[in-house]
Amino acid sequence: MQCLAVCFVLAFCTAACALENGLMRTPPMGWLAWERFRCDTDCLMDPDNCISEHLFMEMADRLSEDGWRELGYVYINIDDCWSSMQRDSQGRLQADPKRFPRGIAHLAQYVHDRGLKLGIYGDMGTHTCGGYPGTTLDKIETDAQTFADWGVDMLKLDGCYSNSSYQEQGYPMMSKALNATGRPIGYSCSWPAYQGGLPPKVNYTLLAQICNLWRNYGDIQDSWDSVLNVVDWFFNNQDVLQPVAGPGQWNDPDMLIIGDFGLSMDQSRAQMALWAIMAAPLFMSNDLRTISNGARAILQNKLLIGINQDRLGIQGRRLIKEKSGIEVFWRPLDKGASALVFLSRRSDMPHLYKTSLKELSYKTGVYEAYDVFSERLLPQLKDSTEFGVSVNPSGVVMWYIYPVAEWKKEAGPGRFSKKLIGPKSHPHANEVDAPFLLL
């Protein structure tokens, strides 16, 4: 009965309140406060790290001044613990007056003045997960209009302090209410995560008519084990999750923790590569004021971002899971291109993995391959030619691959066209030197 109720509500909303905002045709990118800064509200003892307008203005400055905005990182997203513990006299949400003394509308204008967008957090329940006022059914229209009046560009709606029947009503109602404001507001729903993430409780085909993106699984933590847990869940369930993703509707495996404390550089490359394969939203949760050069280089890798932002919007898949600890992932891209990721779950030493493109189900032909992280063009490769690739423990090798026949058609004379690897060019596009062996 519960599943039938979900289908009925969603079927009604497909016709009556589909989001229809034209937003997020490629996975959204930006910065989100939660994993790095959580619910730190002690601005007296920790003024630089507490959830306040000061923190978000500083992050907006960094996105606009340090090259992030031009790469697509345009959202500055507030998470939980931003509001006052009480609604105002008219029943509207209001920002904590000490930590956001000039209000959210002022912060939104500050963000917009820098060519960025502001996201905010709410909860479809009596309280947020942090204990702040939630959005009850009778407050949905009020809260949607409040966010629009403030100039908010995205809403993440959590699901604490509610139940399944409440969520079945509330999430579609908020979609309709956001539409009714007349302001385009991207809508991130946490509904699937609270229903176990899988059918029959979650109908992803119908959910895609309501939300731009959705959290399917639990919160990521600052550790490699947590990254692998997320990866395992998404790829173990790829037959369910992969088909529904596409322009304007994305599975969200949660934040990028690159630049924090729990990942090595190899593990950071691995998270970035796998999120690109998944066509995942790229929301960093780190401190952009102190981020290392190594973490910055990974997050600002232009080709990798181009792969993530591929206009076809097809989510990739895991092809192979070897007993040796090597896994192979693949994503089809525009103009006949594709991306391959070789992941090592080993902890001992670099592993030489041997295979061929034919074994990975590539069609007969000759291919160009480009190493995403070393930014080097590799030798041309026939589908039947065996090769070996050396993968560091808990690391990845990622390739951008293009059929030579299509390459020549697009590029004309010569072996390589920078335009084929996304909108950003690479200074080492014509070099041939990478961890790649023809056998």
Same domain, 360 and 268: no
Same domain, 324 and 183: no
pLDDT at 406: 75
Q: Is 158 a catalytic residue?
A: yes
* pTM listed for this prediction: 0.91
User: Could you tell me the residue range of the domain that residue 322 belongs to?
Assistant: 317-438
Domain end among 269, 284, 308: 308
Same domain, 32 and 132: yes
Strand partners, 365: none
Tokens 């596009």 locate to: 429
CATH number for the domain spanning 361: value is 2.60.40.1180
The tens place of each residue's pLDDT in the chain, 439 residues long, gives 333 333 334 333 433 444 678 999 999 999 999 999 999 999 999 999 999 999 999 999 999 999 999 999 999 999 999 999 999 999 999 999 999 999 999 999 999 999 999 999 999 999 999 999 999 999 999 999 999 999 999 999 999 999 999 999 999 999 999 999 999 999 999 999 999 999 999 999 889 999 999 999 999 999 999 999 999 999 999 999 999 999 999 999 999 999 999 999 999 999 999 999 999 999 999 999 999 999 999 999 999 999 999 999 999 999 999 999 999 999 999 999 999 999 999 999 999 999 999 999 999 999 999 999 999 999 999 999 999 999 999 999 999 999 998 766 665 544 444 444 443 433 333 333 333 344 4
* 210 and 17 Cβ atoms separated by less than 8 Å: yes
Same domain, 282 and 142: yes
Same domain, 251 and 355: no
Same domain, 207 and 284: yes
Same domain, 341 and 293: no
Q: What letters, b where the CB count within 10 A reaches 16 and e where it falls short, cover 368-393?
A: bbbbbbbbbbbeebbbeeebebbbbb
Q: Is 138 a catalytic residue?
A: no
pLDDT at 9: 40
pLDDT at 298: 98
Same domain, 106 and 76: yes
Same domain, 188 and 325: no
Return the number of other C-beta atoms located less than 10 Å from residue 435's C-beta: 17
**CA proximity to 422, closest of 342, 337, 340, 357:** 337
Catalytic choice (40, 61, 66, 219) = 219
CATH number for the domain spanning 277: value is 3.20.20.70
Domain end among 308, 327, 357: 308
Catalytic choice (79, 80, 123, 158) = 158
Same domain, 300 and 322: no
pLDDT at 19: 66
pLDDT at 408: 64
φ/ψ (deg, to 5) at 317: -135, 160
Tally of structural domains, the chain:
2
pLDDT at 67: 98
With a CB cutoff of 8 Å and minimum separation 6, the contacts of 179 are 17, 19, 20, 21
Domain end among 257, 285, 308: 308
pLDDT at 205: 85
Same domain, 294 and 331: no
Q: What angle do CA 288, 291, 292 make, to 5 degrees?
A: 160
Same domain, 207 and 266: yes
